[in-house]
Amino acid sequence: MPISYFHAAVLGLLQGVSELFPVSSLGHTVILPKLFGWDIHQSAPYFLTFLVALHLATALVLLGFFWQDWVRIVKGLGRSLRDREIGPEDADAKLGWLLVVGTIPAGLLGITLQDKLRTLFASPQYAAIFLALNGLLLYGAELLRRRAPVTADDDDVRIARTVSWRDTTLVGAAQALALIPGFSRSGASMGGGLLVGLSHKDAARFAFLLATPIIFAAALLKLPDLAGSQGNGVRGPALVGALCSALTAYLAVRFLMKYFETRTLLPFAIYCGVAGTAAAVYFAVS
Amino acid sequence: MRPVDRRLLAGIAVVLGIALIAVAIVYWAEPAKSLPSFFPGHTAGSNHHHTKHGIAAFLVGLACFAFAWFNTGPKKTRSASA
């Protein structure tokens, strides 16, 4: 069997946490097997197919967690299409279109650059260096962030009032950094959210909403591989990994939405800086 | 924005949307070796179909239509809707 059930469970638990924490799931999935000396061929088709199952589980958890928000957002999109305008007080419609506009650059960059970047930087050494740089990125976002004005009590109204069309394009494009193992999708979009004037809580909420369609679409597009010959021998471990990933993703999103009500990205910046540097030094000397 | 500018932008968006949906169909129908050489993903000798490129072009085409849809809608003012 290409991946044991134990490895699948550990990688699943790790994926659920690291996909949503701003610490790069791809980076950890590349670095940790090398650190532990696991015999997993990370560029092999079966491993990529296995990762698809983990991503799908994470996306389903995000969708479920924000289900009521998504229902309101989709209704808002429908309302705006019917009225042929985004009503000045219709925060759901504005948020929905902000997510659509933000998803376009992320999707385009993902489709055109994904294979090239992953081939170039798929080694654990690169991933460790980029993880350290991800720490710098998070720290930089904290340093440069604007003070978030309190414009409304409702989360979505605040986001809709604060984020402009240009802002959402930039935040969406920033997600493409996550194509490089070591950089975090949620970290890039949360950092972008802070820079455009969102609070930590709103930046996290916007980042999770923005990430859901991208992770979901990427996983759905690759799902046929899991059913086809590339999935032979990994379907069982993929199911176990997906369940573990779903569990930790749920706990992670619950924790983070509470955490960012009062706290900042600094602990994650420190973790990424220290862990990335330590892993890079270890790989260099070993 | 002046009504003429809005109509012009909407017209451009519709043309772009149609072009992008045509590009999407080309991506779905033709293997990488048969794509025009200026298309991203063109690879000589490859039989791979760039389905994802097609989906991306299709969705951006739809976004262009959405932009045109909003820009050609009846202009409502705050006072009129209040």
pLDDT (tens digit per residue) in A166-206: 999 999 999 888 888 899 999 999 999 999 999 999 999 99
- Say whether pLDDT at B79 is over 50: no
Length of chain A in terms of residues written: 286
Least confident of A168-177, A218-227, B4-13, B30-39: A218-227
- For A63, the token pair is 């969708």
CB contact under 8 A, B70 and A112: no
Spell out the residues 6+ positions from residue A264 whose beta carbon is closer than 8 angstroms to its own.
A142, A200
Helix or strand run (H / E) with residue A37: none
CB contact under 8 A, B69 and A84: yes
pLDDT given for residue B75 in this prediction? 67
Q: What is the pLDDT of residue B1?
A: 64
Separation in Å, CA A44 to CA A58, A98, B30 = 22, 36, 27
pLDDT band at residue A222 under the 50/70/90 scheme: confident
Cβ pair B63:A100 closer than 8 A = yes
Confidence class for position B80, pLDDT limits 50, 70, 90 = very low
Q: What is the ipTM of this complex?
A: 0.73
- Confidence at residue A154, expressed as pLDDT on a 0 to 100 scale: 83
Provide the pLDDT for residue A272.
96
Mean residue pLDDT across chain A: 89
Contact: A111, B73; criterion CB under 8 Å: no
With contacts defined as CB-CB under 8 Å, which chain A residues touch B69?
A: 81, 84
CB contacts of A80 in chain B (<8 Å) are 70
How far, in Å, CA of A126 to CA of B2, rounded? Answer: 51
What does DSSP assign to residue A181? T
Contacts of B52 in chain A (CB under 8 A): 111, 221
pLDDT digits (tens, 9 = 90+) for A46-77: 887 888 899 899 999 999 999 999 999 999 99
* Contacting residues of B for A88, CB less than 8 Å apart: 78
Give B81's pLDDT tier (boundaries 50, 70, 90): very low
User: How many CA atoms, within 13 angstroms, populate the side-chain half-sphere of residue B25?
Assistant: 5
Question: Residue A112: which of B40, B72, B74 has the nearest Cβ?
Answer: B40
Report the share of chain B in percent with pLDDT over 70. Answer: 85
Residue of B nearest to A109 (CA): B56
Residue A258 pLDDT more than 90?
yes
User: Which tokens is B35 given?
Assistant: 């794509």
Q: What confidence score (pLDDT) does residue A171 get? A: 93
Query: Which residues of B make CB contacts under 8 Å with A?
Result: 40, 51-53, 55-56, 59-60, 63, 66, 69-70, 72-74, 76, 78, 81
- State the pLDDT at residue A137: 95
Judge whether A198 and A206 are in contact, CB under 8 Å.
Answer: yes
Distance from the A112 Cα atom to the nearest Cα atom in chain B, whole angstroms: 8
Kindly report the nearest CA distance between residue A20 and chain B, in angstroms.
25
**Which of the listed ranges B11-15, B48-52, B55-59 does the model predict with the highest average pLDDT?**
B11-15
Task: Look at residue A101 and tell me whether its pLDDT is greater than 80.
Answer: yes
How high is the pLDDT of residue A148? 65
Mean pLDDT value across residues A155-174: 91
- Whether the pLDDT of residue B82 is over 60: the answer is no
A88-97, A127-136, A159-168, B70-79: least confidently modelled range: B70-79
Going A69 to A74 to A80 to A86, the CA torsion angle's sign is positive
Percent of chain A whose predicted confidence (pLDDT) is above 70:
98
Residue of A80, A86, A107 with shortest CB distance to B56: A107
Query: Residues A120-131: what's their mean pLDDT?
Result: 86
Q: How far apart are CA A195 and CA A171, in angstroms?
A: 9
CB < 8 Å & 24+ apart, contacts of A210-213: A210/A99, A210/A102, A210/A103, A210/A106, A210/A171, A210/A172, A210/A175, A211/A62, A211/A175, A211/A185, A211/A186, A212/A59, A212/A62, A212/A63, A212/A66, A212/A70, A213/A99, A213/A103
B76 contacts in A (CB within 8 Å)? 83, 85
Tell me if A84 and B73 make a contact (CB, 8 A cut-off): yes
**Does A83 contact B63 at a Cβ distance shorter than 8 Å?**
no
